[in-house]
Amino acid sequence: MRLLAEEMVSRFVGHDVPRIIYRWSCPNCGLSSSSHRLVLGLPCERCIKDEELRELMGMQAIGDHDKIYRFLHERGRVRENVDQDLGYREIVRVEEELSEFSEMFRRSVGRDPWSIQKMWARRVIMGSSFALMAPTGVGKTTFGVVMAIYMALKKGWRSLIVVPTIPLVNQVLRRAQEYIDRLSLGGVVSVVAYHSRLSQNDRRSIIDRLSRGDFSIFVTTSAFFRNQDHVNIVSGKINFFFIDDVDAILKGGKILYSLLEVMRIDRETIEKAEEIVNLKARLVFRESSEDIERINALKRDIRRATRSDIVIVISTATGRARGRRIKILREIFGFEVGTRHDVIRNVIDTYRIVSSREKMISEAVEIIKKIGGGGIIYVPRDLGIDYAEKIAEALSKSTGLRVAPLTSRSVKIIDMLASREIDVVVGVSTYYGVAVRGIDLPEVIRYAIFLEAPRHRVTLDMSEIGLSDIPRILELALDVVEEEKKDEVLAVLNKILRVIRRSSPTYLKEAFERVRRGEISSWAEKAIKEGLNMVGSLLSTPGFIDKLERNPFIKVERAGMKIYVYIPDWATYIQASGRTSRLYVGGISRGLSVILETDERLLKGLERRLRLISEDIALRRLDTIDLDQTMREIDRDRENIRRAREGRVFEIVGVPLKELTKTVLVVVESPNKARTIASFFGRPSVKEIGEIRVYEASLGNITLLITASGGHAYDLAVDDIDNNIYIGRDSLHGVIIDNGSYIPIYTTIKRCMKCGYQFTNDSIGEPLRCPICGSQEIRDSRSTLRALRRVAIEVDEIYIATDPDTEGEKIAFDIFVSLLPYNNRIKRIEFHEVTRRAFIEALSRPRDMDINRVKAQLVRRIEDRWIGFLLSQKVTDHVKEEKDIDLRYRLSAGRVQTPVLGWVVTSTREHRKKKYMVIRLTSDNNEPLYQLEIPIADPGLKRVTEPGSRIVVRAVVGDAGEERLNPLPPYTTDAFLVDVSQYMRIPAPKAMAIAQDLFEMGLITYHRTDSTRISDVGLEIAKRYLTEAGKAELIFLRRWGEEGAHEGIRPTRPMDLRMLERMIAEGVIDIRLSRDHMRVYDMIFRRFIASQSRPARVRMCEVVFELSDDKGVIYISKPYREICGVIDPGFMEFYNHPFKVISRDSLNRSWDIEVTGELFRGDRLYTPGDLVRRMKQEGIGRPSTYAKIVDIILRRYIYKGFFKRTGYLVSNKYGRMVYDFLSKEYEGLINIERTRKLEEKMDLVEKGSIDYREVISDLYQELKGYNLNMSGGGKREGG
């Protein structure tokens, strides 16, 4: 009988949602609920019976938490929060209090709070501390003041508001008093302020009120906490802390510890937090399970010691809160303050090449005259402040504007620029300079003009070289030294950069001076000395400087006896040009950057590096843009920023009001992917909620919360612990069979933290135990789902961004139904590469769940479970009983696994037969050259020479002309696994794990694909790489397929292995890769670039082999065509694995070989790559399953020692027993044709062409025809 909930889903959702039971998912009782109930946002059938749903519909309660709660409350069915999960009581409380806060905000401020302010309010209401980073104009302080008033009225809490300056103290005091008056709370809520400019009597009066607790809100600066008496007075009296001056607090350690004392955080807790910081720093260098256990224990202690009635909100204006003290805050309160990142920019980057500096200045004058004030002019660091002053004077005279030089000695100029007393400033483009890092005037700065690109000037005089010059020279050397020297240079570069990154400037200066004096003792000093020696060796190498001069991306200048190298300074350019573009409540303001450059090489070098850093940055010629239109857009944004600062957000132009400050939770599978996406937006704020980390970043009009589910949260159950669901029904291994319906039961996945075993066994009333080792240290995905639900109620919308395939869709659907009762605005987004461009594009294209994909994955999982469980149990029992073997584990079988195992078993047996004479020919230095395989049954083989005899093999080589070779297409999953197995000896499971890492780190596109198609973005990457590598003549772009969603596997940037190593060494790309990761990336990169390169021209030879023994000729082979020379390498310059070149001279000879038994064998054994290739050819398995199948066979059914030595697969006795039994008893279930047809059916389900329930029903009926235990738990009786 169709349940009413199922009918309601069709009505409200509009499509057929498969019925699935999810354990521990009911938002009320916490037990099992159906997907239909969850999609409707309703509790389970225990809490609201099916016949009661019509009453709910009449109340229009679907999706209304308050009405559902009232319905449950009236019937006495509301549960309290269980296991820290959110129930309706808590959800409704939060919504009611948010409504009260919003009403107070409306009456105080005159408008509704923005979405982001509502998100902050929900967090405070739920007692959560957090860091607050938001764009200009969003109203951070306004929120803090209104929340302080609300908490005073609602909970009787006292609040502390800390701001940076005394004027701000007075401003906040006036605003708070104004709001209190508007709310008519003058006798209920009181506000006091303290600062050094108050009279002595006023200060005494306020101290007296503070000591008596006669205040609701206390406003002050951080200076208040320098006095220990002040700290003692307010200690323990305050519950809500709004810190709007975290930068000043973190600069002085005493102030931080004083504030912690006010919060009643004891010294022991602080010391534990400090110990965690130290242990985490140590873990960077070495893994230690003891350290990890200690960290977890300390965290538990801190949680127990921290007061639950304390909420701390930290806001940072500069976004530069860093260092050890911020980490201590993180460990105590579970969040980390983020830092602003200037790659979040909306800058039009332009350039113009000029013939001289005189021409450059005149060009700058003309541009400034046209676009007016509000600009920063940058001059190179090596020309210095004197040059900046001369430029300022010249521009002031020529433009008629007020132009002034900006130096660290004249920072008052910034205030004059802000007040429009000055129109333009001129500064030096140095990374930490005041003109680059010291200006933050988003409503004033419209453009930046660089009089020559930012650059480093490096001397090549060993007596003058500084510490920072060493890594720069080593980086340059990587472009010009011989290939065999590059690894040595890179190793030294890594060491020196490690020293620089981990040491303070003072220590580095002293260490370098000691090295210069020859006083070397520490590891750092040895590394510096090694770097100096390497630089000296390079500079003294004949031709080294000449090669530098030929580098198209740098400039070498000879000045008398001195030689200088000019290197583009990309980091300073990003920072400096970023002054023109800032986040604000309407988005990211537009800015203009103009580079006037005399040397095109520096411009090319700058652009090359910028494009590697960010795919969004592209330099355009200034004359290709509409300058007037650009400045109108820039000025519109400046006016919007001014309106935002004045609170007139409703007047912002160009952005729909509903889009302002929208909050979105993005859920991906892996923490790596979440971290990579978060890094696109700088170093975001981080909040730890349970076992998940939530990153928070702003795009101006959108605030993103990014977190990870950890992969699958649910899998099919293996027990019937939720007994009432099964009453009166049959079940089979996690699926209920009810009158022809098949209802899968999904439960949360558990992982043993001791042995790593993953399982779905459940327990009620007793602690979970690992079925393998018995440990109670279990991580249950229930805790992840609880945490996700808490975040879900904070935000406006949720986007689930799991992998773009059927498995990713099922993960997304499970999260979707789990979160719908808490937030019903959930969409799916997908992207095929983890890049900023792809992610931003995906945000603009949210879609509904692809239910057909979900159904296809359901079929696949149920098929795998039923066939796998049933056959595995059968074969295990058979081996135990028939063979009398004491097994330590259950043998496994499966619909794809067993046919693949059969290939290994068959090839093992056939290999032992004497079918072929195999002759391996080697070169003069004993390197493998050629393998000749002669079938014993070949009619041309006159006789088989007996072992112990000798034969002579003679090769006759003839010319076969020229041939044009085309490259292979980019990798698909199967081709990738074949190559990585064959050429790198990396097993398929490890290869897929490496590829997953590379994908999540944003280095390659999605690696589970059958497509070879390359997008326009991919074509541009190949074109850019070949052009910048000086190989533009090789460009031969190919699409390799029709339009579609998927692409072949390719790199996401024009960055080869050497450049990747450099970017990691320099810290530009913040990832850690193993040697195997590097090798795999290199292989993917080379194959892709080869696929976009011109064909090769080769010289072909025809080779005939003649075998003779002492009785004469025994065999003459057919002619073989081989490549014996390369005329034009073309694509083979990058990738030539399948195209072996054998020189004519090495073949045109004879070999004397002793005949042994090793020369004879049967069919060739399989490698893991061969299995993948055949799975693809036979049409069984999918890109997402190839590696899993191979992994099971490698772990259970082969001789591991033989595989490690040779790379070939030989089945062990268990493999033979499993396959022999199953192929005899259940051949109909495991044959290739049946498996292929099943895959085809699942494809049809995914396309919506057939009903998934029919496929499951057909399988069930088929299984019933075999001698299998179909009870799977059997029918349950009631009572």
Question: Does residue 504 carry a pLDDT above 80?
Answer: no
For the residues 781-795, what does the mean pLDDT come to? 95
Asked if residue 84 has pLDDT above 70, the reply is no
Whether residue 1006 lies in the annotated active site: yes
**Dist CA 239 CA 241 (whole Å):** 7
What's the pLDDT at 1064? 86
Cα angle: 1064, vertex 1067, 1071; to 5 degrees? 55
Q: Say whether pLDDT at 245 is over 70.
A: no
Q: pLDDT tens, 524-560?
A: 899 999 999 999 999 999 999 999 999 999 999 998 8
Element (H, E) at 868: helix 851-882
Q: Measured between alpha carbons, how far is 24 from 718 in angstroms, rounded to an integer?
A: 15
Give the pair of three-digit tokens for residue 5.
């909930």
Q: Strand 928-935's sheet: what is its strand order?
A: 928-935, 916-922, 1160-1161
Mean pLDDT (whole number) for 595-608: 94
Count of residues making up the chain? 1279
Residue 1271 has pLDDT above 80, yes or no: no
Count Cβ atoms below 10 Å from residue 671 Cβ, excluding itself: 16
Q: How confident is the model at residue 1045 (pLDDT cuts 50, 70, 90)?
A: low
Q: Residue 165 above 90 pLDDT?
A: no
Whose CA is closest to 133, among 246, 222, 218? 246
Bigger pLDDT: 250 vs 1220: 1220
pLDDT in the model for residue 923: 87
Residue 450 confidence (pLDDT): 97
pLDDT in tens, 1167-1210: 999 999 999 999 898 888 899 999 999 999 999 999 988 889 99
Which pLDDT score, from 0 to 100, does residue 726 have?
62
- Sign, Cα dihedral of 162, 165, 171, 174: positive
Does residue 1275 carry a pLDDT above 60?
no
pLDDT at 1274 over 60: no
* Structure confidence at residue 1157 as a pLDDT band (50, 70, 90): confident
Alpha-carbon distance 376 to 510, whole Å? 35
Q: What are phi and psi of 973, to 5 degrees?
A: -60, -45
Q: What is the pLDDT of residues 101-135, one digit of tens each?
A: 999 999 998 888 888 899 999 999 999 999 887 76
Where residue 323 falls among pLDDT bands split at 50, 70, 90?
low
Percentage of the chain surpassing pLDDT 90? Answer: 59
Q: What pLDDT sits at residue 881?
A: 80
- Find the catalytic residue in 1006, 1197, 1214, 1219: 1006
* 954-1001 confidence digits (pLDDT tens): 999 999 999 999 999 999 999 999 999 989 989 899 999 999 999 999
* CA dist list (Å): 475 to 193, 313, 453, 538, 567: 55, 43, 19, 12, 10
pLDDT at 1277: 39
- pLDDT, residue 561, reads 87
d(CA 1237, CA 1258): 13
Q: Which residues contact 604 (CB under 8 A, 6 or more apart)?
A: 552, 553
Lowest mean pLDDT across 292-296, 334-338, 921-925, 1035-1039 = 334-338
What is the residue-averaged pLDDT of the chain?
Answer: 89
Q: What does the pLDDT read at residue 1279?
A: 33
% of the chain residues with pLDDT over 70: 93
Can you tell me the distance from the alpha carbon of 242 to that of 176, in angstroms, rounded to the nearest whole number? Answer: 13
Higher pLDDT, 405 or 54: 405
Please report, for residues 112, 695, 711, 1003, the alpha-carbon distance to residue 674 in angstroms, rounded to integers and kept in the order given. 32, 8, 12, 14
Lowest-pLDDT range of 18-22, 125-129, 164-168, 801-805: 164-168
Q: Read off the pLDDT band of 1071 (50, 70, 90).
A: confident
> Which residues partner with 683 through β-bridges?
339
CA contacts within 13 A on the Cβ side of 818:
34
Question: HSE of 968 in the Cβ direction (CA atoms, 13 Å)?
Answer: 19
Residue 1161 has pLDDT above 90, yes or no: no
Q: How far apart are CA 1020 and CA 1037, in angstroms?
A: 9
Q: Which of 7-16, 318-327, 591-600 has the lowest mean pLDDT?
A: 318-327
Give the per-residue pLDDT at 1134.
Answer: 95
pLDDT tens readout for residues 361-395:
999 999 999 999 999 999 999 999 999 999 999 99
The whole-number pLDDT of residue 349 equals 96
Q: What pLDDT was estimated at residue 204?
A: 94
802 bridge partner residues: none
| Residue 701 host element (H or E) | none
What pLDDT band is residue 1 in, cutting at 50, 70 and 90? Answer: very low
CB neighbour list of residue 1081: distance below 8 Å, 6 or more residues apart: 998, 1003, 1004, 1051, 1057, 1060, 1073
